[in-house]
Amino acid sequence: MPIITVNLLEGRSAENIEKMITQVSEAAASSLDAPIETVRVMVNEMPAHTFGIGGRPASVVMAERRAAASATSDGKTEAREEPG
């Protein structure tokens, strides 16, 4: 029985999470040749302040990225996206 754990920062809609659960379950069943009824997906949502990116709280990094994207869309500066 495949058991898959997905850790996400909170903020996604229930519909998006449900879609992800379906697609992850289908991928696991197909790639592992397991009946989909045996696939389990556990989703852990966590607040951004409890997760770190590059030694900094994700909430801070995400706020900086939003500000940079906003400034770019206003034509003020050019933002560079970092993996996270």
pLDDT digits (tens, 9 = 90+) for 20-51: 999 999 999 999 999 999 999 999 999 999 99
Query: Is the model's pLDDT at 14 over the cut of 60?
Result: yes
Query: What local confidence, expressed as pLDDT, does residue 35 receive?
Result: 97
Query: What local confidence, expressed as pLDDT, does residue 11 receive?
Result: 93
pLDDT digits (tens, 9 = 90+) for 49-68: 999 999 999 999 999 999 99
Topology of domain 1-46 in CATH is Macrophage Migration Inhibitory Factor (3.30.429)
**Residue 2 designated active-site:** yes
CA distance 84 to 3: 25
Query: Is the model's pLDDT at 69 over the cut of 70?
Result: yes
Per annotation, catalytic residue among 2, 35, 57, 83:
2
Which residue in the block uniquely carries the two structure tokens 């997905």?
6
Domain residue extents for the chain:
1-46, 47-84
Q: Dmax of the chain from CA atoms?
A: 53
- In 3D space, the residue among 20, 19, 21, 39 whose CA is nearest the CA of residue 29 turns out to be 39
